[in-house]
Structure 1
Amino acid sequence: MKKANFALLPLAVFIAANVQAEEQLDVINVVSENSGAKSKTNVITTKIMERSTETELKGLLKDEPAINFGGGRGTSQWFTIRGMGQDQVDVKIDGAYTDAQLFHHQGRFMFDPSLLKRVDVQKGTGSASAGIGATSGAIVAETVSAKDLLKEGQDIGFKVHAGVSSNSGWSKGATAYSKAGPVDALISANFVTERDYKAGNGYKVKNSALGQRGLLAKFGFDLNENHRIEVSHRQERHYGVRALREEFDFAQDNNAANNAPRYRITQNDTTNLEWNGKNMGFVTHAKANVYHSVINRKEPSENSKTRLIANGANLNLESAVGQSHLIKYGVNYRDQEGKPNSLTVQNGVQMKTQKKRDVGVYAEGIWGLGAFTLTTGLRYDHFDFRAMNGKKSHKGSVNPSVGLIYEVNNDLSFNASLNYATRSPRFHEVMLSSGSTRGRSAVYSIASNIKPEKSRNAEVGFNYKLADNLSLNGSYFWQTVKDTHAFTQIRPGFYEIQNAGKLRNHGYEVGAAYKYEGLTLRAGVAYSKPELDGRTVDSTVTAIPIGRTWTTGVSYRFTQPDIEIGWKGRFVQHTSYDATTNNRGGGATTTKRPGYGVSDFYITWKPTESINVNLALDNAFNKYYRSHSQRAGVSTLPEPGRDIRLNVNYTF
């Protein structure tokens, strides 16, 4: 375990007062995790993606047992972190994110990994500096820039890639990047085309075909050696003949008409302006960004368009205090508006678009005290919410956080943390927020005295590393979310967001890896048990009970030629529960989710420094199964069956 001048918590980077720019960048990229399995940096990097055939985040995170994705492609998928659903977690790209959903039969995350430089994973409740609504975890990503790809002495470069899948898909893409003096630029485009895939039993899943397009343009300007500005625009577009309820195929239940297939488009456009600065006297490092995001859902044949608009800004500052301490402080701001296709008049009241504003300020200290590292933080968040009937509600809350790391020696450390965070009320799904549904009044308002959801996460963990051969990490957590939100019917056609209960979750995660020369062995296990008011909760937006999940891997990498061969396994144990009682299993309303095991084999070959050839056999034994991270039932989407995948990428 690397010992640093500043002991640190994961994702908190120590910066000495007189370090050089190059040294600072090295420190930022070092995986210096001392928090068990709670946080992981560089889970996905550009180099990892270059040696992979995967085109979705789902495939790239197969090794993470605490993260689960549902069936299907694109926004058919629902994902969980430690069993917590999509209303409790976030996906952040370049500091931009929303917490609202367009439609309750559609996942709310769009993510093209080909556009990214790195992906980090945060689990459980975040510390004071984790941002707005950090109650249950996040996937945090950073888009790639020209400076990340240009080699020393290179002023212009290109990258191209192409892939094919035997289970009805292909992909292609290109990236161009260059620099001239202090200016650099990157333009990247990625296209994925997938037809209806076959599940493990040979059944062709209806309306699972999907076209995906990812575009990124990023321009950077180095004002001087201490200051840099970047402006970028990212677009992710999903399109095709899709079922109305994307996570279902009712043809499996002899009701294909209920799929209501129609050509539909979902598109996310995000523009981001970012500034990075350092060595500014008391402020050692600064990062600020302003973003504008628009997510559209269109049905051209119906002339229907639903939009979610988000504008936000973040200012994050760091100041070194002496040689062993760091203070982090800043401001987070986000404004959201949901615009349905139309707005109606209900009981003489003109419906309005839903609006919400979140503002947070924080201060966090990281104190190096010999073998101990203490982190103390305090955060204040405030929200203003306007419901579709014009009713408003607002509330502020204070959230502390504390963490402690004890480094027994350079190889072994123990950690403990207690974090609090709040999450403001979410919009009613934007697509159905006109005030009327199926010709009937459907007004969703908000309680005057509503409180934000408040999460408390206590966690203990350890990290052990023996030279470069053996590494172990583990965490056990206890999480409680008070004042959870739910829509309650007040009278026919009128509902309110109210505080509705207490969500508890507990579980563990353990990981191990062993390396010897070219051989790598890896294993991990994760378990969680979410309950709402003492009852097992089964909701894709709140929490889902996931069977105990095991991940395994064996690989060997040869030096000459540069070839790696490997096997990856993901095994999920069966689970059963009764969501209406305090008992798991054994009742008339018991939900049973069968366990499953899936094996993937792969070969990667790097004939030159510029070329990667990747071949994979996913779901090698053609297993028919459904992920636990989605709704239960015979109509939910099974996962793809056997799939032979080939990808080639070339950089020049």
Structure 2
Amino acid sequence: MHHTSRGLLLLTACFAGTTLSAQQLDPVFLGTLRIEGAEAQALLGNDQITSEEIARRNPATVRDVFAGESSVSVSGGAAIAQKVFVNGIEESLLSITIDGARQNKSAFHHTGNVLLDPALLKSVEISKGLAPADAGPGALAGAIAYQTKDARDLLEEGESFGGLMTLGATTNSKDIRSTLTLFGRQGGAEFLLSGTRQTGSDYKDGSGKTVEGTEADLTDLIAKLAYTTGSGKRLSFAASRTEDTGRRAAQAGPGGLFFTRPDFAEVVGRPNVLIDGYARRESYTLTWTDEAPEGWFAPSLQLSYNEQEIDASGVWGLNTSLSGTAKNVWQLGNGTLTAGLDFFDETAKGRGRGTGAFASSGQEEMWNLGLFAQARQDLGARVSVSYGLRYDIQEFEGADGSRFDGSGLSANGSVDVILTDTLTLNAGLASSWGGYELGEAALVDFGGAWNYAGFTTSRANAARLGLRHDSGPWSVSGALFRTEVDDISAVLPTGGARGATADLTSTGFEGALRWTGAQGFAALNYTYADVELNGDAVGSTAYYLGRPVGHVIALEGGWDVNDHWRVGGSAEIALKNTDTAVTLPGYEVVNLHAVYTPKALDGVQVRLDLRNVLDATYEARSSDGIDAASVIALTEPGRSVGLTATFRF
């Protein structure tokens, strides 16, 4: 039986069994678990970026989404190039989902992993190192879960139809960004359709230099359908497609071919040639949930499919992922138990466009089945715990037809202890089995056949220990962390040696200070992360692994002047990093904004953004090649003025 069919049958059997059980049990009332509270989760490294925070940041790129988050950094350039790092560890070592759809890694190392436009983003959940068992397989260094809005998130009480139109422009790169979203509800049925188009020219950095190959040329389409019965049974379908088709800088490479490298400004000694780049992500997710369970069970079933495609001129690559999850939430007397199973079937395939060894064509495939259980409980008035196990079975087929089987157990546990009325202790440990790694799709067998001698599975160990203090409008917290990921397969193998392994560690401290008032807030987040690869400071081209971080400070604040005016801003301060082989310079970037909601125009909002107010010329700390002599790294956009108008009808 095919792996995918086997996984679907297991999901169906699990779902049917839990539904029957749910009909036989009585409900149990449960209050809010303290360890699931925002403060406890934040100190354990599990942060949520809410819809209010996303709206305040007015993101046009993934990087804007994480403004104010010192522990999450995003590399620079156009959307096609942006990669996300959590405490210096690259997102391909985390579990990434969009509306529950598992995302495979990038098809080419000079491009980002997950092409995402934030136009309809509702929330983002981030787990740093201590991912729970129900976060999914492959959560070696944590997880990032993106959730987009449904029609019911946008419709107001009593409405059956509505729409949003957004039009924005910026001065630096002369970007024009427009979004149209339509949504409606009739009885239990609802729909949402949304499209975003962003175009522009190459931006200028703080010194006035035009950075070639950075023009915006993005198209994003989202469709969502759902039906909810009177008893709370909900079936929903989400589909999204995002494309980046801008002209990108390319340079000569192996086999006499040109390769688009949108993560670099230039490669020394190889003149730029502008070539139409192409990146595409598609995700489809079907979900069934019981939002008003009558028994102890709250079952859900989800099936997802995802594709990531990259055309880098000299090579082409495609990653696919079919995945599914069936789970139930048992309501216990003092908490919950989430248990179930999940699977994925993923491929990485590509081809070269050269001759001889550079006219390669190959594919790798990986299949995984996982069983998981995660408990979250309050043990009395002062102690709250979360603990879980998962067991994964995996099969891997290499490009040469070789087969590998592996299995592993993952465990995690965390505790939240109230020490005094204002002081709380948090601690957590996790050991996660990572399994095998798919190689880079675009370069399978490129330049020579890959070999799998010594090919093995990876494992991560993570720990956090923190304290938080709350007193009136003030809160302060701090946590020590360490994440070790061992035996990571060579995704981008030298000489085709897929069995080569690497060990990655991120060790450091996270601190936060926040003041919250009736009309505003001010927050400071600080992260120090020492990221090492095989015992030495990680370099800025350690693809699929990590980037040097050092000391990073993020500031964010906002003030509601009155019912019609709101002002705010954010700042990122990266201190000079001398831990690396090449000293990385520090920089300071400040952004300000003002939002006006006119009383006389219902549903209209106008926003002014001043980005990089100080017109700093800098290279983002997580960008590729910032310490490489053979590369001229991308500098970030200089000062830019943006104006955005939103009309709700």
TM-score (norm 1): 0.86
Shift of 1:341: 3.5
Q: Report what 1:329 is aligned to.
A: 339
1:580-595 aligned within 5 A: 590-595=581-586
The question of 1:139 aligning with 2:136 is answered no
User: Residue 389 of structure 1 is aligned with which of 391, 400, 404?
Assistant: 400
Q: Within 2, Cα distance between the matches of 1:639 and 1:266?
A: 21
Farther off after superposition, 127-136 or 211-220: 127-136
Shift of 1:74: 0.6
Q: Report what 1:586 is aligned to.
A: none
1:221-240 aligned within 5 A: 221-240=227-246
Local SS of the residue matching 2:49: strand
Shift of 1:282: 5.2
1:585-630 alpha-carbon deviations (Å, 9 max, x no partner): xxxxx31210001111111122246222111111001100001112
Shift of 1:494: 4.4
1:109-161 alpha-carbon deviations (Å, 9 max, x no partner): 21111122211222123122221111112321112111111111111111110
Identity %: 21
Gap change, CA 1:487 and 1:83, over 3 Å in 2: closer
User: Residue 249 of structure 1 is aligned with which of 252, 255, 265?
Assistant: 265
Counterpart of 2:372, as a letter, is Y
Shift of 1:31: 5.3
Q: Report what 1:482 is aligned to.
A: 486
Farther off after superposition, 96-105 or 412-421: 96-105
Q: Within 2, Cα distance between the matches of 1:526 and 1:118?
A: 22
1:489-528 aligned within 5 A: 494-498=496-500, 500-528=501-529
User: Residue 599 of structure 1 is aligned with which of 569, 582, 590?
Assistant: 590
User: Residue 316 of structure 1 is aligned with which of 327, 345, 369?
Assistant: 327
Judge conservation of contact 1:311–1:336 (CA < 8 Å) in 2. yes
Judge conservation of contact 1:187–1:217 (CA < 8 Å) in 2. yes
Shift of 1:293: 1.5
Gap change, CA 1:123 and 1:488, over 3 Å in 2: closer
Farther off after superposition, 275-284 or 312-321: 275-284
The question of 1:92 aligning with 2:92 is answered no
Shift of 1:342: 6.4
Farther off after superposition, 398-407 or 170-179: 398-407
User: Residue 306 of structure 1 is aligned with which of 311, 317, 324?
Assistant: 317
Q: Within 2, Cα distance between the matches of 1:306 and 1:487?
A: 14
Local SS of the residue matching 2:484: strand
Local SS of the residue matching 1:446: coil
Local SS of the residue matching 2:497: strand
Q: Within 2, Cα distance between the matches of 1:206 and 1:183?
A: 47
1:541-594 alpha-carbon deviations (Å, 9 max, x no partner): 21222120011234321224x21222322100111345xxxxxxxxxxx31210
Local SS of the residue matching 2:92: coil
Judge conservation of contact 2:553–2:573 (CA < 8 Å) in 1. yes
Local SS of the residue matching 2:103: coil
Judge conservation of contact 2:28–2:331 (CA < 8 Å) in 1. no
Judge conservation of contact 1:392–1:446 (CA < 8 Å) in 2. no
Q: Within 2, Cα distance between the matches of 1:82 and 1:610?
A: 39
Q: Report what 2:14 is aligned to.
A: none
User: Residue 153 of structure 2 is aligned with which of 119, 142, 148?
Assistant: 148
Gap change, CA 1:488 and 1:261, over 3 Å in 2: closer
Judge conservation of contact 2:94–2:140 (CA < 8 Å) in 1. yes
Q: Within 2, Cα distance between the matches of 1:369 and 1:66?
A: 31
1:557-568 aligned within 5 A: 557-560=560-563, 562-568=564-570
Shift of 1:18: 4.5
Judge conservation of contact 2:96–2:145 (CA < 8 Å) in 1. yes
Shift of 1:646: 1.0
The question of 1:293 aligning with 2:306 is answered yes
User: Residue 115 of structure 2 is aligned with which of 75, 85, 110?
Assistant: 110
Q: Within 2, Cα distance between the matches of 1:489 and 1:547?
A: 27
Local SS of the residue matching 1:113: coil
1:316-395 aligned within 5 A: 316-322=327-333, 324-341=334-351, 352-370=362-380, 371-395=382-406
Q: Within 1, Cα distance between the matches of 2:87 and 2:430?
A: 16
Gap change, CA 1:264 and 1:379, over 3 Å in 2: same
Q: Report what 2:22 is aligned to.
A: none
Judge conservation of contact 1:52–1:614 (CA < 8 Å) in 2. no
Shift of 1:218: 0.5
Shift of 1:534: 2.2
Structure 1 unmatched runs, 5+: 1-15, 579-589
Local SS of the residue matching 1:267: strand
The question of 1:420 aligning with 2:431 is answered yes
1:13-43 alpha-carbon deviations (Å, 9 max, x no partner): xxx97489xx99x999x95341343445541
**How many residues align structurally?**
603
1:452-479 alpha-carbon deviations (Å, 9 max, x no partner): 2111111112333334x22223221122
Shift of 1:86: 3.5
Report runs of 4+ in structure 1 exceeding 6 Å deviation: 342-347, 487-490
Q: Within 2, Cα distance between the matches of 1:27 and 1:616?
A: 39
Q: Report what 2:191 is aligned to.
A: 185
Judge conservation of contact 1:101–1:427 (CA < 8 Å) in 2. no
Q: Report what 2:17 is aligned to.
A: none
Judge conservation of contact 2:59–2:119 (CA < 8 Å) in 1. no
1:539-618 aligned within 5 A: 539-560=542-563, 562-578=564-580, 590-608=581-599, 610-618=603-611
The question of 1:400 aligning with 2:391 is answered no
Judge conservation of contact 2:97–2:146 (CA < 8 Å) in 1. yes
Gap change, CA 1:191 and 1:409, over 3 Å in 2: farther
Local SS of the residue matching 1:58: helix
Judge conservation of contact 1:53–1:163 (CA < 8 Å) in 2. no
Structure 2 unmatched runs, 5+: 1-24, 250-259
Q: Within 2, Cα distance between the matches of 1:156 and 1:567?
A: 34
